[in-house]
Amino acid sequence: MRCTPSWEKMKEAHMYEGKRDTLEMKAEIVEALAHPLRLKILEKLHDGACCVCRIIPYVGAEQSNVSHHLSILKNAGIVRSQKKGMEVWYDVCDRRIFRIINLVSELLAGQMQQNHRRLSELSKTR
C-alpha cells in the first residue's frame, strides 16, 4: 500500500509546468480533514487498518457516502487502501495526522474554556 496524494500524481504528469505551490498542497490536506464524517473515519482508523465494511456502521453513513469521503482522504494522501480478497481495507499513511487532529481538539477546548469564562463573567455582572 502506497500513499500518493493526487497532487503528486499531477506534479509527475506536469513536471515541466513548474512547481505546485506548497500552500495549495497544505490546503488540500486541511480541506480533506474539514468534514465531520472524514474525521469520524479517521477516528475509526486510529487503532489501525480496518475493512470498509466496519467503517460504514461505525460512522453511520451510506456506503456510497463513505466511499466518497474515503476517496477524498486517499487523494490527499491521508489514507491508503488495499484489497484483501473481496474486502477493501483502509489505513492511515502517516500517524502524524492524529497529532494535527489532537491539536485542533486542544484549540477547540481552549476556545470553549475561554467562552465559558466570558459567560461566567457576564452572569456575575447581572
Domain range list for the chain? 6-93, 95-126
**Residue-level pLDDT at 9:** 61
**What is the DSSP secondary structure assignment for residue 78, as one 8-state letter?**
S
Whether domain 6-93 has CATH 1.10.1740.10: no
pTM: 0.79
Question: Average pLDDT, whole number, for the chain?
Answer: 89
Where does the pLDDT of residue 108 fall: very low under 50, low under 70, confident under 90, or very high at 90 and above? Answer: very high
Contacts by 60-63 with C-beta closer than 8 Å and gap 24+? 61/37
Tell me, rounded to whole angstroms, the distance of Cα 54 from its chain centroid.
17
